[in-house]
Structure 1
Amino acid sequence: MDAMHPAAQRRAHVTAQVRRWCEEARVDGAHRELSADAAVLIAAGHLDEPTRQVLANRRHIGRPLPDIGGFGALRALADDYVRLDHKARAMRPGALQVLASYRAGEVERRLLTARARFTHSPAHYANGVRTIRRDRRDGVHLEPAQRDALFDALARTPAPLGEHRTDQATAAAVNVAAERLAGLTERTRWAAAGRRAADALGATVGQPGDRFADRFDALLYLAGTLYDRIDGSAAWHSDHFAVQRAQLDLADELTQIAVDTLALRGIGGELATAMQAAHGEAAREQIRSRQRALEPVWDQLVERVAALARIGDLLGEAEGRLRSIAAVQRTMSLDSRIDELVARAGNREMSTANTHNVGDQIGGVDELILGCQALLHGDILALQTRSR
């Protein structure tokens, strides 16, 4: 069997890594929250087409949205409210229930304050008749209902789950259970099987990396992080990749990934609910067939995010090479001074060798940049093919 081509090998490796992270709802390492730009593009996936178009128009002319201290923090606040409110409603009447309701109310008030700041900011939305008419004509006016819908969408910005004491207690309990399982089977013929089961049980907790609510949140967070990485790359905005920038609309790609991911999550949830209510094997098999029909959609979404990951990796390599070019150019700018110094020392041969070496470096870096451009072109074509 022929060895896999390096480019194909790279694609397969990155795709497998993205798939693993999403299926485990856990991304290796610690990551920053998404930028406001990425969060808004993902939130647009929750909204209708007219609202998405207004957001795109505002983005193109540089019309910002209110800053409320980070949309990752907003997601954490919204999750806290849901958790505390559910806990308060589940408790029996009494002093503890009153205290839990008070805590939920405090978080709810903070959410309402954030909503008011976001939806009623006079510095970001037109509030006079003439300015509203002008913004509507220009396609950049967000109606109050659209602002509310956008705030709700931003409150679901994908972000790593916070660590709580309950997580630590659960981990400790699972570890104790694993040790007891291993101990009970230690001197029996099932010792090997017991140890494997204990190892598997212990591996479910304490894994490094950021955890997410589900595979969809993990996928969206990865897509947003890669958008931030690519859009923030000096190499991406350099003249070397002008053609690639024209081929790939990063903002539109992220929004379309969000639209499809959220639609898949919603339909999958409805099918799961239908499965629970289904009576008879024929009805369940019909639902299972529809679930299988959705599997290629998930595969395509993973491939699209993996393509962004490959582009991000290539740009990281290109930035290093561009820094090499800059270093070489700085060296060449010193040539006249170097020549003068070397001439005074009587070592003209050294100067000639140095000049040839600099030229060789420039040629090598140019070849590497061309290689990056070719690989980027292939990844962008693959991305555009899957998005259609």
Structure 2
Amino acid sequence: MSESAQHEERRARISVEVRRWCEHAAIDGSHDLLSDAAAVLIAAGYLDAPTRQILTNRRRAGRTIPSIGGFGALRLLVDEYHQAVRRSDTVRSRPGQLYYKHRATELGRKLESYRSAVVTSTAHYGNGVWAMRRDRRLGVHLDLGQREALFEALQRTPAPTTGAPLGRVGDFARGTVARRLSQAAEKTPMAAMGRRAADAIGRGAVHDPDKVAEDKFTDRYDTLLYLAGTLFDQIDSSPLWHSGHFEVQRSQLDLAEELTQIALDTVDLRGIMGELDEALRATSSESGLKQIRGRQSALHSVWDQLVERVAALARIGDLLSRAEVQLRSVLAVNKAASLDDRIDDLIARSGDRELSAENTHYVGDQFDGVEEMMIAYQSALYGDIAELTSWSSGQS
């Protein structure tokens, strides 16, 4: 297979995989929560243009957002809080209601403490008239309302609803409570009620982590955002991406801005599609239904483009991973072949000048191989980066 054919095959394979994950709202395997950096960039997609610009200015100026131990965990906490509130209203048994109300109160307090940490931190935001004036002049000041909006957006950080480590911990905790409640009630007049309460609390808990073969998400949009954030984390944390080998490519692609633009378009698309679905349910006339379905069909191309943008990021991540593996292999061969001055010193002492020269040429050839390999990967990256930047420039 030619290099061009291999390139096309790889593009098609990755695009199909990204689309499959999104349409099923599930990703094979178990994955980490997003970094705070990725979470803030995605949250910017929910905010207005002035707030997004301030966040961009803060990022470029090295100004951070208060950390609470992971905004992916915040999303899981918020989901569990709403679930506990719902279950406290729907569970019929009195012990079950008490448990979920207590849990909702506990989570609500924790949520408020996180809100306070993010919104009112004096270590991250200008405190005092002069400090606020200075930050406004620099374009990095977030007003109280903007910080509140940011915290609301961070609560929507995409995270797996099942399969994530914190999700399994929550399931295990509910399962443990259910078992203890059931055991405590056995051989007492309250045995039947205890079993019902235990069933209500433990329902839905996954007791065997090995049974979870994939991470599931709320919908295809959350899946896409999570994939984009994960790929941002993978690429941005790559030493090779930040090396001199890919300096030109880094100048061509602003990863942070790309993630925010993907988030902005995805959030808008989800909102518009939701409104069209509501309109579809409320419309009874045939002409109205036809018009709404036509608008929905017109938006399919937007979804397709978003999938391809994330697939392009996935191809960059895939190339970097392969390049890192090959580079480590080449450097290991170099080290074993040369051993630097130790081999040269030993050869010099043995008087075998010819062997020393051959060894030096061999090491030089290996470094030539590194450069050739990097050039090949630079060329492969160029197409995916050009595709991403063409979308961004087309929207501006």
Q: TM-score, normalised by structure 2?
A: 0.82
- In structure 2, what is the equivalent of residue 63 of structure 1? 63
Residue 301 in structure 1 maps to residue 306 in structure 2: yes
- Counterpart Cα distance in 2 of 1:340 and 1:111: 64
- In structure 2, what is the equivalent of residue 238 of structure 1? 243
Secondary structure of the residue aligned to 2:51 is helix
Secondary structure of the residue aligned to 1:87 is helix
- In structure 2, what is the equivalent of residue 110 of structure 1? 110
Alignment deviations for residues 82-117 of structure 1 (CA, whole Å, 9 cap, x no partner): 111122334569665455333322211211111111
- Counterpart Cα distance in 2 of 1:382 and 1:65: 31
Secondary structure of the residue aligned to 2:381 is helix
- In structure 2, what is the equivalent of residue 124 of structure 1? 124
Residues 122 and 340 of structure 1, relative CA distance in 2, 3 Å threshold: closer
- Counterpart Cα distance in 1 of 2:144 and 2:153: 14
Secondary structure of the residue aligned to 2:317 is helix
- Counterpart Cα distance in 2 of 1:58 and 1:332: 47
Residues 361 and 333 of structure 1, relative CA distance in 2, 3 Å threshold: closer
- The answer as to whether partners of 1:72 and 1:157 remain within 8 angstroms in 2 is yes
Give ranges in structure 2 of 5+ residues lacking alignment.
Answer: 162-166, 176-210
Q: Quote the sequence identity (%).
A: 56
Residues 232 and 3 of structure 1, relative CA distance in 2, 3 Å threshold: closer
Residue 247 in structure 1 maps to residue 240 in structure 2: no
- The answer as to whether partners of 1:324 and 1:365 remain within 8 angstroms in 2 is no
Residues 125 and 335 of structure 1, relative CA distance in 2, 3 Å threshold: closer
Which amino acid counterpart does residue 220 of structure 2 have in structure 1? Answer: R
- In structure 2, what is the equivalent of residue 145 of structure 1? 145
Matches within 5 A, 1:148-167: 148-161=148-161, 162-163=167-168
- In structure 1, what is the equivalent of residue 387 of structure 2? 382
- In structure 1, what is the equivalent of residue 377 of structure 2? 372
- The answer as to whether partners of 1:328 and 1:362 remain within 8 angstroms in 2 is no
Alignment deviations for residues 13-53 of structure 1 (CA, whole Å, 9 cap, x no partner): 11111111111111122211111100000000000011111
Residues 319 and 4 of structure 1, relative CA distance in 2, 3 Å threshold: closer
Give ranges in structure 1 of 5+ residues lacking alignment.
Answer: 170-205
Which amino acid counterpart does residue 156 of structure 1 have in structure 2? Answer: R
The CA deviation at 1:322 is 3.6
- In structure 1, what is the equivalent of residue 224 of structure 2? 219
Which amino acid counterpart does residue 316 of structure 1 have in structure 2? Answer: S
The CA deviation at 1:354 is 3.4
- The answer as to whether partners of 2:231 and 2:314 remain within 8 angstroms in 1 is yes
Q: Which of 260, 264, 282 in structure 1 is aligned with 2:265?
A: 260
Matches within 5 A, 1:41-120: 41-90=41-90, 96-120=96-120
Secondary structure of the residue aligned to 1:210 is strand
Q: TM-score, normalised by structure 1?
A: 0.83
- Counterpart Cα distance in 1 of 2:93 and 2:129: 50
Residues 329 and 100 of structure 1, relative CA distance in 2, 3 Å threshold: closer
- Counterpart Cα distance in 2 of 1:281 and 1:207: 44
Alignment deviations for residues 159-204 of structure 1 (CA, whole Å, 9 cap, x no partner): 11135769x99xxxxxxxxxxxxxxxxxxxxxxxxxxxxxxxxxxx
The CA deviation at 1:131 is 0.7
Secondary structure of the residue aligned to 2:122 is coil
The CA deviation at 1:217 is 0.7
- In structure 1, what is the equivalent of residue 164 of structure 2? none
Which amino acid counterpart does residue 88 of structure 1 have in structure 2? Answer: S
- In structure 2, what is the equivalent of residue 290 of structure 1? 295
- In structure 2, what is the equivalent of residue 202 of structure 1? none
